[in-house]
């Protein structure tokens, strides 16, 4: 296992979002059924969850199954549903012992009753845990998330529970799937594609986007640490200038600069 630099440890993201791409291509390269790639990807998921927990990262959100994935071959969708059930059953007790809180986001009504029960049971078992919050996006789409929040806020207005004038970003954000958590600081996508694919389109507005060619089943602890090292080298400005960010990090810096300029001007006037 690789070791992070001191600077990386000091500036780790609070919330990481991951699109775990490349399972099918990993299997195809080995002349295996696509289901074998998804099973292999579980190991990488387990490793990144354990790594986030050890690093005291507040939240990890992973894209397990998008609302668009229903259009894949029926055999692959079926194998994914069975994998969800077996993985939840096998992993949730381990996660609970590690103080991980499990939460699912997305429209779960389309899932079978058996899978819905596994989801509900895992959330109930871990609901009081205070460590890493693991958010699993299943039958989730970013546009669905926004539309769902808009429907809820429209219902509040219709029922006279909210005035139109009170609708702002904060109000809408409070009704999104990840309300109560900070927005992801770092977005990671494996597999070489460079898009967010309808994942957390509201929440990723100011996230740092990290793309890597490594296929998800091959994504290692070293690959994860490389992403974190890359993140610490980014300057997160949120609309400000680079100079403003530096001044914010070193209080009094801008004042000292202006004082120095004033002193230089005074000396210059005395020499005339």
**Three-class HEC string of 181-220:** CCCCCEEEECCCCCCCCCCCCCCCCCCEEEECCCCHHHCC
Is 132 in a helix, a strand, or coil?
Answer: coil
Amino acid 11: pLDDT: 87
Same domain, 217 and 255: no
Residues 150-181: tens digit of each pLDDT: 999 999 999 999 999 999 999 999 999 999 99
Same domain, 164 and 197: yes
Q: Can you list the positions of beta strands (E) in the chain?
A: 15-19, 59-66, 101-105, 133-140, 186-189, 208-211
Tell me what the mean pLDDT of segment 54-59 comes to: 97
Q: Is the pLDDT of residue 41 over 70?
A: yes
Q: Is the pLDDT of residue 235 over 50?
A: yes
Q: How far apart are the first and last CA of the chain?
A: 65
Same domain, 251 and 220: no
Same domain, 261 and 225: no
Q: Is the pLDDT of residue 221 over 70?
A: yes
- Residue 1 included in any domain: no
As a whole number, the mean pLDDT across the chain is 89
- Residue 183 included in any domain: yes
Structural domain tally of the chain? 2
Question: Which tokens belong to 78?
Answer: 């079926």
Same domain, 40 and 120: yes
Residues 127-158: tens digit of each pLDDT: 999 999 999 999 999 999 999 999 999 999 99
Same domain, 25 and 110: yes
Amino acid 237: pLDDT: 56
Is 71 in a helix, a strand, or coil?
Answer: helix
CATH code where residue 98 lies: 3.40.1180.10
Q: Which domain holds residue 168?
A: 6-234
Q: What's phi and psi for 116, nearest 5 deg?
A: -60, -40
Same domain, 173 and 248: no
> Residues 251, 221: contact at Cβ < 8 Å?
no
Amino acid 9: pLDDT: 60
Tell me what the mean pLDDT of segment 189-200 comes to: 98
| Residues designated as active site | 21, 69
Between CA 255 and CA 260, with CA 256 as vertex, the angle to 5 degrees is: 120
- Residue 120 included in any domain: yes
- Residue 110 included in any domain: yes
Same domain, 163 and 179: yes
Residues 6+ apart with CB under 8 A from 256: none
- Residue 158 included in any domain: yes
Same domain, 220 and 256: no
Residues 244-270: tens digit of each pLDDT: 655 666 655 443 434 444 454 444 444
């Amino acid at each position: 296992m690789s070791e992070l630099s001191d600077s990386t440890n000091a500036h780790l993201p609070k919330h990481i979002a991951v699109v775990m791409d490349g399972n099918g291509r990993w299997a195809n390269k080995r002349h295996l059924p696509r289901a074998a790639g998804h099973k292999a990807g579980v190991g990488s998921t387990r490793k990144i969850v354990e790594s986030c927990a050890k690093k005291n990262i507040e939240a990890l959100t992973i894209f397990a199954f998008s609302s668009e994935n229903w259009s894949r071959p029926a055999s692959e969708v079926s194998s994914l549903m069975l994998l969800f059930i077996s993985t939840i059953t096998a992993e949730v007790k381990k996660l609970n012992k590690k103080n991980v809180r499990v939460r699912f986001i997305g429209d779960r009504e389309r899932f079978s009753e058996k899978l819905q029960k596994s989801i509900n049971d895992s959330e109930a078992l871990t609901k009081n845990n205070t460590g890493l919050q693991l958010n699993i996006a299943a039958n989730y789409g970013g546009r669905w998330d926004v539309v769902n929040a808009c429907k809820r806020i429209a219902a509040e207005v219709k029922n006279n529970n909210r005035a139109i004038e009170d609708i702002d970003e904060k109000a809408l954000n409070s009704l999104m799937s990840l309300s109560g958590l900070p927005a992801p600081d770092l977005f990671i996508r494996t597999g070489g594609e460079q898009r967010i694919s309808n994942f957390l389109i509201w929440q990723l507005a100011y996230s740092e986007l990290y793309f890597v060619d490594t296929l998800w089943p091959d994504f290692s602890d070293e690959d994860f640490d490389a992403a974190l090292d890359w993140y610490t080298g980014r300057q997160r400005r949120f609309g400000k200038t680079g100079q403003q960010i530096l001044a914010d990090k070193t209080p009094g810096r801008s004042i000292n600069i202006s004082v120095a300029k004033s002193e230089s001007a005074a000396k210059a006037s005395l020499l005339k």
